[in-house]
A = this chain, B = another copy of it.
Amino acid sequence: MKKISESTIRRLSKYYRSLEQLIARNTDTVSSDQLAEMDGITSAQVRKDLSFFGTFGKRGLGYNTRALKEQIGEILGLSKEWRVAIVGAGNIGKALVNYGEFRKQGFQVHLIMDSDHGKVGQTIQGLTVESTDHLPQLIKKQRIEIAIIAVPSEAAQRVADELMEAGVKAILNFAPISIKAPEGIQVKNENTAIEIEALSYFLTNQG
């Protein structure tokens, strides 16, 4: 398949969620105009994105919601279960263990670790917090594919290095720094502070 841009992948994730909502409301077909309206995107863009993967819809009839959701899920790799580890059992780490949206999409947290010996041994949603002292062994034993970093900034790059060394190829980073990674390893930064600062900029400069 042709390489798909970051922004297309993001829009596919949005269409996927809108389709879930439509299916929950027992809607069988959807037009590109409706999907566009739901996601705040132009319908030309919706048609372009979806045509990229072959013709799903029939002109005038729209798309079958279930079939389209399944095909997008396939493209995004949501039809399999992903084995996830979380490093950092603070507030963010704990919230993510319980995050329904992850579970629903097949991201299963099998491991949570912390360097704080006061937290090691605690139970979160049936998972026992393990020590990061054993990170490499635990990552391998649990066959972790995606790791989430929820540790303070100072520790984030070191944790990332250990994770990559242990074979993790995909990292979602919640620490407010840019993680450096070699080619072939994908790092996504989830920086909530950056989003709220964009709001602060907007409020400050709206004149």
| Chain B residues whose C-beta falls within 8 Å of the C-beta of A39 in the assembled complex | 178
Does any Cβ of B come within 8 Å of A143's Cβ? no
Does any Cβ of B come within 8 Å of A204's Cβ? yes
Does any Cβ of B come within 8 Å of A91's Cβ? yes
A-side interface residues, number (CB < 8 Å): 65
Contact for A77 among B1, B16, B153, B203, CB less than 8 A: B203
A186 touches B172 (CB 8 A): no
B198 touches A153 (CB 8 A): no
What is the copy number of this chain in the assembly? 2
CB distance from A4 to the nearest CB of B (A): 8
B188 touches A198 (CB 8 A): yes
B38 touches A200 (CB 8 A): no
Chain B CB within 10 A, most for which of A75, A176, A186: A176
B153 touches A21 (CB 8 A): yes
Chain B CB within 10 A, most for which of A9, A193, A197: A197
Contact for A40 among B18, B75, B180, B205, CB less than 8 A: B180
B99 touches A201 (CB 8 A): no
| In the bound complex, CA of A134 to CA of B135 (Å) | 47
Does any Cβ of B come within 8 Å of A49's Cβ? no
Does any Cβ of B come within 8 Å of A33's Cβ? no
| In the bound complex, CA of A99 to CA of B192 (Å) | 10
A201 touches B9 (CB 8 A): yes
A190 touches B195 (CB 8 A): yes
CB distance from A172 to the nearest CB of B (A): 6
| Chain B residues whose C-beta falls within 8 Å of the C-beta of A44 in the assembled complex | none
Which of A53-61, A62-70, A100-108 lines the interface with chain B?
A100-108
A82 touches B200 (CB 8 A): yes
Does any Cβ of B come within 8 Å of A119's Cβ? no
B91 touches A203 (CB 8 A): no
Does any Cβ of B come within 8 Å of A92's Cβ? yes
Does any Cβ of B come within 8 Å of A177's Cβ? yes
Which residues of A from 11 to 37 have beta carbons under 8 Å from B? 13-14, 16-18, 21
